[in-house]
A = this chain, B = another copy of it.
């Protein structure tokens, strides 16, 4: 936790002080060894970042004076279209995407996504929010990604993808891609990543027909949690990362 993300509800009274008593309280006490007098890096959800100076602490909570003076880091100009991963992997992928500054994520169905994955409690708003918070805290960001669930591949690709892509570059990471993934981009990109086992040829064709270019990252087939940072840090210039 490189930044403590604060919410409206943390400012519980009219003093302007923030009171923490949950996971964040335990983390700053146990990991950061925070005490009265400690100053922590904080940020306000979807707002600015700054400092939180601990003015009081007991065994259950701490109280901070908060000063918010800096803008959060710029968002990554990436629309991420991701075949719904296994529930076990979903949390890590959402946290990683959030830490890299991705602000729009569409979790979509595909032939090789098991239908049962859509029943996972990890797809609840509460859990997706919690995982996104972990990523923001990691990267000192405050701006919550928006996560959309699309349970039908064809209508999503045909009806929504063209509007999402607009006039920007759209790439589909696929080991069968004949072109290597470009690099040092600074303009917005829409990126699609398939499920374990890949998109099937019909899906690749539909993606191509709707604006995507399949690109490869080399010869090796990577897991989605490895492929995502690999593509993002290949694709974009460090200037905007």
Contact = CB atoms under 8 A, between A and B. Distances in A.
A234 B236 CA distance: 9
Interface stretch (A120-128, A158-166, A215-223): A215-223
Given A183-B184, A230-B233, A234-B233, A139 B225 contact: no
Interface string A210-241: 00000011111111011101111110101111
A87 interface: no
B241 A73 contact: no
A99 B222 contact: yes
A184 to B, nearest CB: 7
Contact of A180 (B92, B100, B230, B238): B238
- The prevalent SS among residues of A at the interface is mixed
A218 B232 CA distance: 11
Can you tell how many copies of this chain the complex includes? Answer: 2
A2 interface: yes
A222 B138 CA distance: 7
A181 interface: yes
A101 interface: yes
A144 B140 CA distance: 37
Contact of A229 (B92, B139, B141, B230): B230
A132 B127 CA distance: 30
A222 B2 CA distance: 10
Interface of A: 2, 73, 92, 96, 99-101, 138-141, 180-181, 183-184, 216-223, 225-227, 229-234, 236, 238-241
17 contacts: A96-B223, A100-B220, A101-B220, A138-B222, A138-B223, A141-B220, A180-B238, A216-B238, A218-B236, A218-B239, A218-B240, A218-B241, A220-B241, A225-B225, A229-B233, A233-B233, A234-B234
